[in-house]
Structure 1
């Protein structure tokens, strides 16, 4: 109960924390059809070049898969997009006008870039619905407690997300009692409650059953168009099931890009990643 009380105190929905307030004057401009521009990005850690003159472009509404061997720079790339890591050189633009390299991690998140890590991070003592309530955009200055009455609009939004992630029947269930796959879907749902423009999803099917993998594929494909989705994944069968376009990273830069068939048949990819 102490954990639950702490969450209810710290996550008051009438409290709007300063770091979650969007910066004034930053509006996403996707008039050219591209939501993310990474150009000539390089970053070095203790003499090791993790990202090497990386150029990557993600279209609005696109579902893109990023693959590559361990150490290819996939995680560092997402760290740069979300503001966790600052590159040594290069530019990172969100739409036409927002310079991500000038913003902090909370500011980037408030602009509509959501990141899901490999291990699900949900509030296990709380119910599925309470997790979604806590994730609701923080600029709505209402309800002093977790159990305050929701408006019809907010209930409708939660119902929509529950349907999207397939957890309608589990709304009252404690999140800690969900299966691994269901926790992954709940965390995606928590990101969706904030209505992000861009979702970064790291190895979503690691540890899942085949049935859960199939459901995750359906979920991610359903998000494309409404959101831009970038999926980092090692499971090639899963990537094939969802991706129209695949980017292969190697030694911190783009090695190949195209359909799954194109990259799998690329001699360079075969040599460095798919093992012949």
Structure 2
């Protein structure tokens, strides 16, 4: 048997490509979704449609249902009723968290969860879209294509010069970018990003806006954020949640001038 070459990747180690039917231009269908916790309606007959390749911002006060919605999409929380479809053919409510991730849905939480004792390069290599079992970990080698993908992600997140730096030594903003890069390394179709600019400097916030805006098109990006200035800088469509339902939807200007939104969140008089 010949010695395994550095660029060789055995076929059984490469995950199958998942087909997502977006022939109607919609990648995420959420209809009549309800979730209750001890009698509290976290989601209340919520309806939401996300187009393929768009950048959507979700805003709303604490308790509006934003986190619960993401939990249902990713399989972390089960709903009481309703439906959630990824494209035309994948019923997410029938799938486990790991299966949903393999479909191409990646989630980034507010606090960055990188491997701080490993380098930026190591973090991205670990996140590549390959099987993660014991045998693959023992025998897999990066192909030329995988190394190229890591280099592409490095450029997208702007951490080329930090590639050999320990992740724990990065700034808060850089850790956030690295975690976004780890999601990108797995080549997701849908990115769910939770409060990406919390704790960032103004310069880091601006860079994050550029990063997320650049991802839309090739990926579908859903951002949950409380910083309204940041939302304004990236928003194409904004969805406002209130008491587990959609209160308003449209451009940032349309949302800010919506009477229901003003009454609920701003408390301004007519």
Fold conserved between structures, TM > 0.5: yes
Aligned to 2:142: 150
For residues 22-56 of structure 1, the C-alpha deviation after alignment (integer angstroms, 9 at most, x for no partner) is: 7x9x6311111000000000010001000000000
Deviation of 1:149 after TM superposition, in Å, equals 5.6
Instruction: Quote the residue 1:106 is aligned against.
Output: 98
DSSP-derived class of the 1:144 partner: helix
Residue 208 of structure 1: which of 192, 200, 209 is its match?
200
Kept in 1, the 8 Å contact 2:192–2:221? The answer is yes
Q: Which whole-Å deviations, capped at 9, do the CAs of 1:212-235 have from their partners, x for residues lacking one?
A: 000000000000000000000000
Matched, 1:274 2:266: yes
Q: Distance in 1 between matches of 2:96 and 2:128?
A: 21
SS in 1 for 2:99: helix
Contact 1:27–1:98 (Cα < 8 Å) also in 2: no
RMSD in angstroms over aligned alpha carbons? 2.1
Normalised to the residue count of structure 1, the TM-score between the two structures is 0.89
Q: What SS class does the counterpart of residue 21 from structure 2 fall into?
A: coil
Q: Does 1:179 align with 2:164?
A: no
Provide the aligned length of Structure 1 versus Structure 2: 257
Q: Which runs of 5+ in 2 are unaligned?
A: 1-8
Which 4+ runs in 1 deviate beyond 6 A?
Answer: none
Cα distance in structure 2, aligned partners of 1:46 and 1:138: 39
Gap regions ≥5 residues in structure 1: 1-12
1:153 CA drift (Å): 1.3
Q: CA deviation at 1:271?
A: 1.4
* TM, length-normalised to structure 2: 0.91
> How far apart, CA to CA, are the structure 2 residues paired with 1:46 and 1:254?
22
Aligned-pair CA distance for 1:142? 5.6
**CA deviation string 1:127-156 (max 9, x = no partner):** 0000000001123886637xx863221111
**Contact in 2 for aligned 1:264/1:274 (Cα 8 Å):** no
1:114/1:191 contact within 8 Å kept: yes
Aligned counterparts of 1:77 and 1:149: Cα–Cα separation in 2: 37
